[in-house]
């Protein structure tokens, strides 16, 4: 029986791989005509980041896509980037970088298997059906070898699935656990059905917030597909710049990304916009998966009470219920989401560090961090807005 030989290649541009080969690994489920489970690992999304200059030269995210080939056929691929900083990752390792450099090492560049600027859980080891185990193993080994051969400090796999995290540990990677807040659709018929599952006090609070937000003096619309027009991106770009300047100093996405989104991604998008006196004043950008609505960005040029909660959280719940989606993932951080029906859930990442001593120190830290995160999730869930019997079921 001959030994299986898998060839690992790196690619500076995703077009070197091509949409058909990439999506055969990233979203094989679309052959039934439906949406991809994960809109962010599709060829069209990653290519939009690259073509718009949001990643690439000067961004700190240098594409180094991996493919694994068996007998010349692509069986797996991964969105791999060489990173010169730790921005836009949402799994924070700045303290690791400081410690590594204080000890005399160069933490950057490092390698990152991730979707840039996107704290959404999804497969990171993209494999064709039937090649899950061998494909993931080849990608991990290939990425580690690439890091080691180039004298890089580390490899990180962020927002991977729980199954991938468990497989990664079996392959010798370090596992990290963080948390987000997600809303789960328990077959609610409508928003009132969701409210009925809450405690009386929380139900009244949300109704007051929605009434206050919707009374801001204008209208709120959710647009998707061909209903989205270029003028809407002009407005949203202003909102996005405001948020980016306040949170990160410089927005991660370029203006060109939104032009490409209009052409290639609008069917994947639910854009919530608030209009007052003939102009758009606030908005929230969501991406639509087969089962999940992913909240990504929010911004405004007029600040109105509770409008943020309405546009980002309640409109997302309305959309998910109306379209039969099972979950809303509202992005990174934010304990304020708890009172609005979004409960804490664990998120996973994997890490390989070249220096043995530093790796052992990180391993001890991660063990303590996981215990703390588990305790936080348990405590925060107990403070959730659901009626006690409902909350016990969700725990």
106 token code pair: 């160069």
Name the pairing type of β-strands 174-184 and 73-78: unpaired
Q: How far apart are the two ends of the chain, measured CA to CA in Å?
A: 49
**What would the mean pLDDT of 298-310 be, rounded to a whole number?**
95
% of the chain residues with pLDDT over 70: 96
Which pLDDT score, from 0 to 100, does residue 395 have?
Answer: 47
Render pLDDT for 101-157 as a digit per residue (tens, 0 to 9).
Answer: 999 999 999 999 999 999 999 999 999 999 999 999 999 999 999 999 999 999 999
What is the rounded CA–CA span in Å between residue 272 and residue 342? 19
Give the DSSP letter string of 259-324. Answer: HHIIIIIGGGEEEEEEEETTEEEEEEEEEE-SSEEEEEEEEESS--TTHHHIIIIIHHHHHHHHTT
- Mean pLDDT on 59-76: 97
Buried residues in 366-394 as b, exposed as e (16+ CB within 10 A): beeeeeebeeebeeebeebbbbeebbeee
Strand partners, 65: 11
Cβ neighbors of 58 (< 8 A, separation 6 or more) are none
Query: Which tens digits make up the pLDDT trace of 350-390?
Result: 999 999 999 999 999 999 999 999 999 999 999 999 987 65
Which of 252, 248, 246, 259 lies closest to 54, judged by CA? 252
Burial group, residue 224, by CB count within 10 angstroms (0-12, 13-18, 19+) = middle
Query: What average pLDDT does this structure show over 207-211?
Result: 98
Is residue 200 classed as helix, strand or coil in its secondary structure? helix
User: What's the pLDDT score for residue 333?
Assistant: 76
Q: For residue 319, how many C-alpha atoms fall within 13 Å in the half-sphere facing its CB?
A: 30
pLDDT at 334: 81
What local confidence, expressed as pLDDT, does residue 390 receive? 53
Q: Please write the tens of the pLDDT for every residue from 81-92.
A: 999 999 999 999
Q: Rounded CA gap, 139 and 160, in Å?
A: 14
State the pLDDT at residue 157. 98
- Asked whether the predicted pLDDT for residue 394 surpasses 60, the reply is no
Average pLDDT of the chain, as a whole number? 94
For 292-331, give one letter per residue: b (16+ CB within 10 A) or e: bbbbbbbbbeeebebbbbbbbbbbbbbbbbeeebbbbbbb
20 CB-near residues (< 8 Å, 6+ apart): none
For residue 257, name the pLDDT band (cuts at 50, 70, 90).
Answer: very high
pTM of the model: 0.95
Distance, CA of 175 to CA of 369 (rounded, Å) = 11
Of 145, 136, 123, which Cα lies nearest the Cα of 171? 136
Q: Poorest-confidence range of 68-82, 142-156, 284-298, 379-393?
A: 379-393
| Polymer length in residues for the chain | 395
333-347 burial by CB neighbour count: b if 16+ within 10 A, else e? eeeebbbbbbbbebb
């Amino acid at each position: 029986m001959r030994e299986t030989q898998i060839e690992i290649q790196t690619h500076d541009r995703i077009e070197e791989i091509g949409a058909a080969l990439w999506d055969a690994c990233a979203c094989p489920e679309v052959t039934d005509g439906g949406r991809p489970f994960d809109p962010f690992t599709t060829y069209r999304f990653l290519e939009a980041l690259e073509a718009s200059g949001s990643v690439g030269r000067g961004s700190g995210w240098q594409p180094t896509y991996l493919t694994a080939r068996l007998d010349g056929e692509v069986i797996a691929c991964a969105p791999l980037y060489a990173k010169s900083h730790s921005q836009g990752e949402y799994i924070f390792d700045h303290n690791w970088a400081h410690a590594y450099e204080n000890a005399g090492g160069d933490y950057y560049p490092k390698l990152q298997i991730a979707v840039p600027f996107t704290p959404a859980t999804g497969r990171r080891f993209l494999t064709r059906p039937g090649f899950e185990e061998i494909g993931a193993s080849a990608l991990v080994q290939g990425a580690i070898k690439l890091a080691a051969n180039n004298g890089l400090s580390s490899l990180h796999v962020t927002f991977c699935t729980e199954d991938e995290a468990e497989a990664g540990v079996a392959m010798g990677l370090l596992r990290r656990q963080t948390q987000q807040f997600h809303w789960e659709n328990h077959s609610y018929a409508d928003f009132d059905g969701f409210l009925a599952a809450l405690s009386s006090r929380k139900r009244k609070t949300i109704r007051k917030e929605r009434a206050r937000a919707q009374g801001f003096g204008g209208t709120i619309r959710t647009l998707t597909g061909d209903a989205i027009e270029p003028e809407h991106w002009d407005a949203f770009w202003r909102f996005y710049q405001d948020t980016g300047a306040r949170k990160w100093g410089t927005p991660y996405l370029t203006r060109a990304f939104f032009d490409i989104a209009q052409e290639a991604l609008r069917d994947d998008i639910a854009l919530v916009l608030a209009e007052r006196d003939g102009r758009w004043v606030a908005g929230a950008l969501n991406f639509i998966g087969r089962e999940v609505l992913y909240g990504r960005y929010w911004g405004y040029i007029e600040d109105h009470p509770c409008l943020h909660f309405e546009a980002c959280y309640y409109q997302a719940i309305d959309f998910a219920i109306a379209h039969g989606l099972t979950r809303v993932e509202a992005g990174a951080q934010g304990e304020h989401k708890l009172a609005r029906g979004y409960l804490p859930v664990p998120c996973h990442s994997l890490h390989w560090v070249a220096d043995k001593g530093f790796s052992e120190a990180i391993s001890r830290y991660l063990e303590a961090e996981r215990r703390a995160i588990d305790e936080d999730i348990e405590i925060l869930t107990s403070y959730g807005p659901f009626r006690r019997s409902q909350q016990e079921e969700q725990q």
